[in-house]
Amino acid sequence: MLSARGCKPVAGVSLVESLIVVAVSAMVMAAGAPAFGRWVRDLEVRSSAGALLAALQAARTEAVTRNADVRLALGDVQGRTGWVLSCVRVSAQCPATIRRQPVSIGGRVRWGAASATVMPGFDAVLAAGAGLPGNVGFDAVGAAPSVAAGTDIARIDVTHADSTVARRLVVLVSGLGRVRVCDPAVDSGHPEHCH
């Protein structure tokens, strides 16, 4: 583009070019916003499932380390995330409360639980707060005998309250005390498949 005075080129971007860039950017943002929102919800679910897995593993470790029975209690009937790790029999070596994660009042992730005796198939979603309050207990060798007996929680579904299409993850506890996170939406050959 030439300036009004002669042959000197003028550097810069015209108003029309700027408006085109703004319009294209707005279309890209509008198309990506729903996907970004789902990604954030999926990330919140994954983070909560990971934190719950860590709490269950810590409970098992505490039981073995203290050579005592410990219990991880999930106590919110609305399914909001939070737990208390405590000793079953309080002593000088094993306090009433070892650790605690306060219930998340503002969080949108929800938990629903079931024992082995009433656990539905993985295609069925456990409703937020189902089976709660409930416990997972570990003995001094790290096993979870009450899970095997069907009286303690064996499955916890981690979902998002704002979306039915957000990822759902499942935390499983075996009678041997093994804890893992699985994804019911992945194929059977995938390592995170629920079975």
Q: What is the pLDDT of residue 35?
A: 77
pLDDT tens over the chain, length 195 residues: 555 566 666 678 888 888 898 988 888 877 777 778 888 899 999 999 999 999 999 999 999 999 999 999 998 999 999 999 999 999 999 999 999 999 989 999 999 999 999 999 999 999 999 999 999 999 999 999 999 999 999 999 999 998 878 899 999 999 999 999 999 999 999 999 998
Q: What is the pLDDT of residue 52?
A: 98
Q: What is the pLDDT of residue 1?
A: 53
Q: What is the pLDDT of residue 171?
A: 98
Q: What is the pLDDT of residue 4?
A: 58
Task: Extract the tokens encoding 46.
Answer: 């994954």
Within a 10 A sphere around the Cβ of 8, how many other Cβ atoms?
A: 8
SS (H, E, C) the chain: CECCCCCCECCCCCHHHHHHHHHHHHHHHHHHHHHHHHHHHHHHHHHHHHHHHHHHHHHHHHHHHHCCCEEEEECCCCCECCEEEEECCCCCCCCCCCEEECCCCCCCEEEEEEECCCCCCCCCCCCCCCCCCEEEEECCCCCCHHHHHCCCEEEEEEEECCECCCCCEEEEECCCCCEEEEECCCCCCCCCECC
Task: Give dist(CA 146, CA 51) in Å, integer.
Answer: 22
